[in-house]
Amino acid sequence: MLEVNGDIWSYLGKGIVAITTNGYVTRDGRAVLGQGVAKQAGDLFPDLDRRLGRELREGGNRVHDLGDGLVSFPVEDSPWSLADLRLIGKSAGQLRELADQNDWPLVVVPRPGCGGGGLNWRDVAPLLVGVFDERFHVITAGPRRNS
């Protein structure tokens, strides 16, 4: 695992970008992309809330390949709950498995649960170190690119 600083969206098209998500689906089938990287992804991909909502309904709150070089990375059960260390650990394992299956050479992940999720990086990092290898870059947010 490599820790980097910068704009996660500068990696789009160069590697897989993980977006931290929750497992809530609205009555009309949309995932809630409330804040942080998830909200930015929803702004960049207007149908992402429907795509993720469908995956959540069919496969549950787990890591999903969403297309367009994006994967979900669940950190909380709902947009109103705080991030859950157990869920982050489980998501890390699922993401590693998916990366292995697809031979992804680069996967970029924001610090899961450390923004709006309310967790401290020193508590989250140990969960990832044993799972992520050199293909995984954990990024600390820099300025967002102009789109």
Q: What is the DSSP string of the chain?
A: -EEEEE-GGGGBTTBEEEEEEE--B-TTS-B---SHHHHHHHHHSTTHHHHHHHHHHHH-SS--EEETTEEEEEEESSTTSPP-HHHHHHHHHHHHHHHHHHT-S-EEEE-TTSSTT---HHHHHHHHHTT--TTEEEEEE-PPPP-
117 pLDDT band, cuts 50/70/90, is confident
Whether the per-residue pLDDT at 124 is higher than 70: the answer is: yes
Residues 6-60: pLDDT tens digits?
999 999 999 999 999 999 999 999 999 988 999 999 999 999 999 999 999 999 9
How many domains does the structure of the chain reveal?
A: 1
pLDDT on residue 115: 86
Residue 29 lies in a domain: yes
Residue 44 lies in a domain: yes
Residue 147 lies in a domain: no
142 pLDDT band, cuts 50/70/90, is low
Question: Which residue range forms the structural domain that includes residue 95?
Answer: 2-141
